Amino acid sequence: MSDFDVDLFVIGAGSGGVRAARIAAAHGASVMVAEEFRIGGTCVIRGCVPKKLYVYASRFADDFADAAGFGWTLPARPAFDWRKLVDAKEKEITRLSGLYRQNLERNKVEIVESRAEVIGPNRVRLLNDGREITAKYILVATGGAPALEPSIPGLEHAVSSNEVFDLTAFPQRLLVVGGGYIAVEFASVFARLGCKVTQAMRADNVLRGFDGDMRAGVRDALRHAGVDFRFGVLPTKIEKTAEGLKAALSDGADIVVDQVLVATGRRPHTRGLGLENAGVEMDAVGAVKVDGYSRTNAPSVYAVGDVTNRVNLTPVAIREGHAFADTVFGGRDIRVDHANVASAVFTTPELGTVGLGEEDARAQYDVVDIYSAGFRPMKATLSGSAERVAMKIVVDGKTDKVLGVHILGHEAGEMAQLLGIAVKMGATKADFDATMAVHPTAAEELVTMRTRSARHER
Ligand code: NDP
């Protein structure tokens, strides 16, 4: 008989928490998981999943425009109904949330729909009924929350990615603040759905940290879709007026829009969680500090996912949760390898990427070879669309090892997933060259780029 009510108490039923709870239970642990919002977490409820559904919705605009070149005649202006999309999305995420719940219940994980706070190294309190639960281990999997910046008068009129999916009316005019993943994805979606989008950010380009040519490609594609960029500019004030929300910008301009979406990053969700009651250390932004096993400095407390601010992506949180459960309850020894995580930015066209961008590679390696290709995709020959595909392979010039691959184009996310395997295995450029092409595809360019575009030595 254990001295504790449960072996594992998980705070947060998102990607990382649900996986950890389920696997720990499968290993025979008694598990309780607390969730204050909806089972599924950010990814399922107001992140990756609904975002991708909206991306699909937005791309019909291009499909309708492309169809004529292939012999189709469509109504002059196909109509889009925002409410129908929101309702369909809601139905799907409710279904997914139900599946998550079933999965937990099938594994005999007890779900408590309540906020939970840590009151000691082995003790949590449920806020709905004040119950205290003792646990051998506590897993913090509370994710992140939008951080709205800059703090300006009228910021309360703006929305974050939490609210933007469920706007009651489709915004005809939208100001997007920020230039990261969330900002560019929503700018792309809303512009395609027919909204006039203005995007303001403090930097001189979108997607800091990504390969420079890819950043430029995303910027150009969004601009082509109608996004009005204001670089080096942020709002200084937002006012509600009869015409809409009036945003004063730092360059002296005023713009009037229906909604302001602020996407200026996310912060680990640790405030008020009581972690100090267990002596858990956090960093300056409030992220829980963990080691390679997701263990905090408090031996009974672990943390996975965005709350640890390592690589803030759902598959990473899932892997961390799984590794934690296997290590602590399954008698295995698994550290998560955070190197070369492939990811995608779901603008249109998409950006799929794995490994180092050119700039980062040049900062870290003595000799860097670049292979790049830019071309019009085959579909565009008949559709007449201006879409371009860009690809870049970044290679260590001394060892021939592929350090990074970057693709801007249709289904680049799908390509990045497969390239992730090759890069993770340590593929060389010669391995790419030895691979036969699949024809006719865009991806075949990846194995047919024979001529180096540049060599950089330092
Ligand atoms: P990002 O970190 O990607 O981007 C934040 C943006 O806000 C940047 O443009 C940044 O500017 C700007 N910013 C940050 N602080 C300030 C400030 N104080 N004042 C003004 N501007 C500021 O965050 P997101 O919110 O877009 O996304 C959060 C995270 O969610 C991502 O990092 C990613 O991990 C995850 N995500 C992943 C997706 C995917 O995989 N497709 C999709 C959506 C989210 P600057 O560039 O100058 O630093």
> Per residue in 346-380, pLDDT tens?
999 999 999 999 999 999 999 999 999 999 999 99
CA–CA separation, 413 and 274 (whole Å): 38
* Across 398-406, average pLDDT: 98
Q: Is the distance from the beta carbon of residue 184 to the nearest atom of ligand 1 less than 6 Å?
A: no
Whether the CB-CB separation of 201 and 182 falls below 8 Å is answered with no
Q: Is the distance from the beta carbon of residue 189 to the nearest atom of ligand 1 less than 6 Å?
A: no
Ligand 1 center to 6 CA (angstroms): 37
Nearest to 21, CA basis, from 11, 7, 10 = 10
pLDDT at 384 over 80: yes
pLDDT at 75: 85
pLDDT at 295 over 70: yes
- Closest ligand 1 atom, CA of 203? 47
Of the listed 157, 338, 439, 456, which one is catalytic?
Answer: 439
pLDDT at 76: 82
Q: Is the distance from the beta carbon of residue 148 to the nearest atom of ligand 1 less than 6 Å?
A: no
Q: Is the distance from the beta carbon of residue 182 to the nearest atom of ligand 1 less than 6 Å?
A: yes
- Using CA atoms, how far residue 138 sits from 26, 32, 111, 236, in Å, is 17, 10, 15, 42
pLDDT at 372: 98
Q: Is residue 157 among the annotated active site residues?
A: no
Ligand 1 atom 14: the closest Cα is on which residue? Answer: 264
Half-sphere exposure of 96 (CA within 13 A, CB side): 22
pLDDT band at 333 (very low <50, low <70, confident <90, very high): very high
Degrees to nearest 5, angle at CA 229 with 224 and 232 = 150
* Across 190-213, average pLDDT: 98
Whether the CB-CB separation of 186 and 176 falls below 8 Å is answered with yes
Q: Is the distance from the beta carbon of residue 263 to the nearest atom of ligand 1 less than 6 Å?
A: yes
Q: What is the pLDDT of residues 408-432, one digit of tens each?
A: 999 999 999 999 999 999 999 999 9
Q: What is the pLDDT of residues 64-100, one digit of tens each?
A: 999 999 999 998 889 999 999 999 999 999 999 999 9
- Closest ligand 1 atom, CA of 312? 34
Strand pairing partners for 345? Answer: 351
Residues making up the chain, counted from first to last = 458
Ligand 1 atom 9: the closest Cα is on which residue? Answer: 179
Ligand 1 center to 103 CA (angstroms): 32
Whether the CB-CB separation of 402 and 393 falls below 8 Å is answered with yes
Ligand 1 atom 25: the closest Cα is on which residue? Answer: 265
Taking all residues of the chain, what is their mean pLDDT, rounded to a whole number? 97
pLDDT at 49 over 70: yes
Residue 246: what residue type?
K
pLDDT at 288 over 70: yes
pLDDT at 283: 98
Is the pTM higher than 0.95? The answer reads: yes
Q: What domains are there in the chain, each with its CATH number?
A: 6-145+267-329 (3.50.50.60), 155-264 (3.50.50.60), 343-457 (3.30.390.30)
* Across 280-287, average pLDDT: 98
Ligand 1 center to 230 CA (angstroms): 16
Mutate to test the pocket of ligand 1, among 45, 164, 181 (most ligand atoms within 8 A of CB): 181
Own/partner pairs for 118-123, CB < 8 Å, 24+ apart?
118/11, 118/273, 118/274, 118/275, 118/277, 118/278, 118/280, 118/301, 119/274, 119/277, 120/277, 120/278, 121/278, 121/279, 121/298, 121/299, 121/300, 121/301, 122/4, 122/300
Ligand 1 atom 46: the closest Cα is on which residue? Answer: 208
Ligand 1 atom 3: the closest Cα is on which residue? Answer: 180
Whether the CB-CB separation of 331 and 24 falls below 8 Å is answered with no
Mutate to test the pocket of ligand 1, among 202, 249, 262, 314 (most ligand atoms within 8 A of CB): 202
pLDDT band at 1 (very low <50, low <70, confident <90, very high): low
Q: What percent of the chain has pLDDT over 70?
A: 100
